[in-house]
Amino acid sequence: MRWLTKVDRRGRVTLPKTMRDELGIKPGDGFDFGIAEKGRVVVTRRSDGLSFLLVVPDREAA
């Protein structure tokens, strides 16, 4: 499944409810963010090690 979201003026990203439900994300859950090759952002849940990948398109390609 794929979800789309945007960064707001304060730099926040809202995870869609369907994503939170599918991944069991609850208020207060912590995440680590890292940058991988080719503009990919890796997001890892700190509590149980669950990882998923967010792809951030290159601004020049958009």
CA distance 3 to 54: 9
For residue 20, tell me if it sits in a domain: no
The span from the CA of 18 to the CA of 12, in Å, is: 18
34: its two tokens: 């890292």
Residue 50 located in a structural domain: yes
pLDDT at 21 (0 to 100) = 94
Residue 2's pLDDT is: 85
The mean pLDDT values, 10 residues at a time, for the chain of 62 residues are 89 92 88 86 73 59 49
pTM: 0.63
Q: Is residue 54 part of a domain?
A: yes
Instruction: Residue 33: give the domain boundaries.
Output: 26-62
Q: How many domains does the chain have?
A: 1
Amino acid letter, residue 32: D
